[in-house]
Amino acid sequence: MLKKTLIVLNGFIHDFAAGIWLATIVTIAVIHDAHNQNPAVVGVLNHLEHLFFWGSVIAAVVIMATGAGRTFTYVDNWYGEDAERSRRKALIVKHVVLFSAYALGYLWVWGKVYH
């Protein structure tokens, strides 16, 4: 019972951290766009960008750690052997896309945070 609860909790934390990561990246872009609106607050906005950037890094680390945990908890052929083979291929594609999204996200905001 405890093991199943921890597995579900790990999955929840993984998904929640992914949402936080995306929200911080979008927030950095919104804050950066505000620089042009009111130059008097640029110092405050730069500080916020840095806080959100490092918050996104922490979220990414949590995503990786809990994702590694998920790797070891989804080992049964729950849906049958053929479906599991297809599911694993889809997961590989999904993770290639998501790792690309991480890289592109950081490329997009790096210049905004460290300008």
With a CB cutoff of 8 Å and minimum separation 6, the contacts of 49 are: 28, 31, 32, 109, 112, 113
Domains in the chain: how many in total?
A: 1
What global pTM score does this model have?
Answer: 0.82
Range of the domain at 80: 2-113
Residue 52 tokens, joined: 């959100």
Please give the chain's pLDDT, 115 residues, in tens.
888 888 889 989 999 999 999 999 999 999 998 887 888 888 899 999 999 999 999 999 999 999 988 877 766 666 677 777 888 888 889 889 988 998 999 999 998 898 7
